[in-house]
Amino acid sequence: MRQINELLRASLDDASVSRSERRELKGILPLIQGDRTGLAKTRQLAFNLATKKIQETGNYKAMEWLEDVIKLLYSSEMSVKASSYFSPGKDCLNRICRFISDTKKRIDICVFTITDDRITQRIEEALSKGIDIRIISDNTKSEDRGSDLDRLRRTGIECRFDKTSAHMHHKFAISDNDLLLNGSYNWTRSASTENNENILVSNNAKLVQSFQNEFNRLWNSLS
């Protein structure tokens, strides 16, 4: 909120939203995607700033500035997208495979285990395209018969494993630091053919950043 506050105040100086200010605001506003309280506070802040500007200067161009800011706020809010998928069936599997294939630069994967070679193949294909890949998984499950983690590690993908007696039981992935995949679905064949499982895919910036922070924390702790 502090960054948004500072940007709005700076932008209001000339009672217009310049192209560079618009770009900066578009870069920061996604941080309050899906946050009704944050959205309401930002809207109220913009209204209060515009009102004060008019009272102090009599410059009613501040109302045009306010209109531009509100449009930016709601265009950011409307850009939040989320979708859900369920198994048994191939919906979860297909979405995971597409999630990996659609990655442009980097994918961070944090899952309990990987034994479904259909997913493994997509990860290998991503690596062949130059995608930066990091994987965190459970140490005991990585040694199970059928685990593909050793296979992936031999391709050059850096993998790190939980070293405790407890399980690293997360099942999430982050694509290009702007899309999150998360849910109960283990990356196994039985999750597709037998189990009742789910995944959620979302571009909500706060959620993406929260999971990215958790991935980075785990990654650094396992170095």
Residue 204 is part of a domain; what is its CATH number? Answer: 3.30.870.10
Mean pLDDT on 190-194: 93
| Predicted local distance difference test score (pLDDT) of residue 149 | 92
Residue scoring higher pLDDT (15 or 78): 15
pLDDT band, residue 18 (cuts 50/70/90): confident
Instruction: Look at residues 62, 78, 94 and tell me which one is the last residue of a structural domain.
Output: 78
| Predicted local distance difference test score (pLDDT) of residue 108 | 98
| Predicted local distance difference test score (pLDDT) of residue 76 | 57
* Alpha-carbon span 40 to 48, nearest angstrom: 12
pLDDT band, residue 19 (cuts 50/70/90): confident
71 & 90 share domain: no
Tell me what the pLDDT averaged over the chain comes to.
Answer: 89
Q: Give the count of domains, the chain.
A: 2
Q: Which residues are catalytic?
A: 169, 171, 176
127 & 197 share domain: yes
pLDDT tens-digit readout, 129-184: 999 999 999 987 777 777 899 999 999 999 999 988 889 999 999 999 989 999 99
Domain of 63, in residue numbers:
2-78
pLDDT band, residue 27 (cuts 50/70/90): confident
* Alpha-carbon span 222 to 138, nearest angstrom: 11
pLDDT greater than 80 at residue 187: yes
